[in-house]
Amino acid sequence: MHTYFKQLFQYDKWASKMLLDKFEKQFPQNERIYGLMSHLLSAQRNWLDRCLGIPQSAVLWGQRLPDEMRQDLENYNLAWIDFIESLHDADFAKPITYTTAAGITYTNTLTEIIAHVINHGTHHRGQILILMKEEGYVLPGIDLISYLR
């Protein structure tokens, strides 16, 4: 499990970095693009905070500049990988109880949460690609299989 989840977070970082590289070269005009990427990063930080049992530290729908997003991507990705490396195999089945931004308490296993975090990032990167396409950009291939090649 360790190797697989670390690989997924490495992919996640690669895919987000591809978009950030595009932002820095072509400066998309639609502010929603930056808002979605900021949200994606904040959610990753907040989910890790939940897994660690500490208060959530990121503003879920805040706005960041591309340089800030790049730094947060590096920091959050490293934090997730360090967390995964610290786990024992049995920890992946461990239930994590957390409270959502809406104040509702749920419990999911760590494996389910990790899968959600990766899927959440893929979902929002897809939304970003649609918005960029509407602005006429040539889009980078950021599918998992592209990363694995």
Binding-site residues for a divalent metal cation:
39, 120, 124
31-52 and 110-134 are packed helices; what angle lies between their axes, rounded to 10 degrees? Answer: 170
Binding-site residues:
39, 120, 124
For residues 45 and 27, the answer to whether their CB atoms sit within 8 Å is: no
What single string gives the DSSP state of each residue in the chain? -HHHHHHHHHHHHHHHHHHHHHHHHH--S-HHHHHHHHHHHHHHHHHHHHHHTS---S-TT----HHHHHHHHHHHHHHHHHHHHT--GGGGG-EEEEE-TTS-EEEEEHHHHHHHHHHHHHHHHHHHHHHHHHTTPPPP---HHHHH-
